[in-house]
Amino acid sequence: MNSVAIGIFDGVHQGHQKILAEAAKHGPVTALTFHPHPTSVFAPERTPPFLVSLEDRIELLEANGASEVVVIEFTKEFAAKSPAEFIQQVLVETLKATHVTVGSNFTFGFKASGNLETLKNSGAGFGVSSVDLAEDRGSAISSTRIRSLVMDGDIERANELLTRPFFLRGPVVHGEKRGREIGYPTANIGLAEHATIPADGIYAGWLQVGEHRWKSAISIGTNPTFPGVRGRQVEAYAIGESGLDLYDQEAKLEFNFRLRDTLKFDSLDALLVQMKADCSEAITLLN
pLDDT tens string 61-111: 999 999 999 999 999 999 999 999 999 999 999 999 999 999 999 999 999
Q: Which tens digit of pLDDT belongs to each residue from 5-63?
A: 999 999 999 999 999 999 999 999 999 999 999 999 989 899 999 999 999 999 999 99
Q: Looking at residues 241-268, what average pLDDT do you find?
A: 92
**pTM of this prediction?**
0.93
Rounded Cα gap, residues 62 and 52, in angstroms: 14
Measured in residues, the chain has a length of 287
pLDDT category at 226 given cuts 50, 70, 90 is: low
Greater confidence, 32 or 225?
Answer: 32
CB neighbours of residue 79 within 10 Å: 17
pLDDT category at 227 given cuts 50, 70, 90 is: low
Where are the CATH 3.40.50.620 domain residues in the chain? 3-140
Instruction: Tell me which of 2.60.40.3710, 3.40.50.620, 3.40.800.10, 3.40.50.300 is the CATH number of domain 3-140.
Output: 3.40.50.620
Closest CA to 146 of 161, 165, 129: 161
Q: Which tens digit of pLDDT belongs to each residue from 125-143?
A: 999 999 998 888 888 899 9
Rounded Cα gap, residues 139 and 134, in angstroms: 8
pLDDT at position 265 over 80: yes
pLDDT category at 184 given cuts 50, 70, 90 is: confident
Q: Report the chain's mean pLDDT, rounded to a whole number.
A: 93
Percent of the chain with pLDDT over 90: 80
**Rg of the chain over all Cα atoms, to the nearest angstrom:** 22
Angle at which helices 155-162 and 143-151 cross, to 10°: 160
CB neighbours of residue 190 within 10 Å: 14
Give me the phi and psi of 113, to 5 degrees please. -85, -15
Q: Looking at residues 153-158, what average pLDDT do you find?
A: 98
Which pLDDT belongs to residue 12?
98
Q: What angle do CA 249, 252, 256 make, to 5 degrees?
A: 150
Instruction: Tell me which of 1.10.260.40, 2.40.30.30, 3.30.465.10, 2.60.40.420 is the CATH number of domain 167-286.
Output: 2.40.30.30
Greater confidence, 180 or 184?
Answer: 184
Name the least confident of 26-40, 177-191, 228-242.
177-191
Where are the CATH 2.40.30.30 domain residues in the chain? 167-286
Which pLDDT belongs to residue 179?
60
pLDDT at position 229 over 70: no
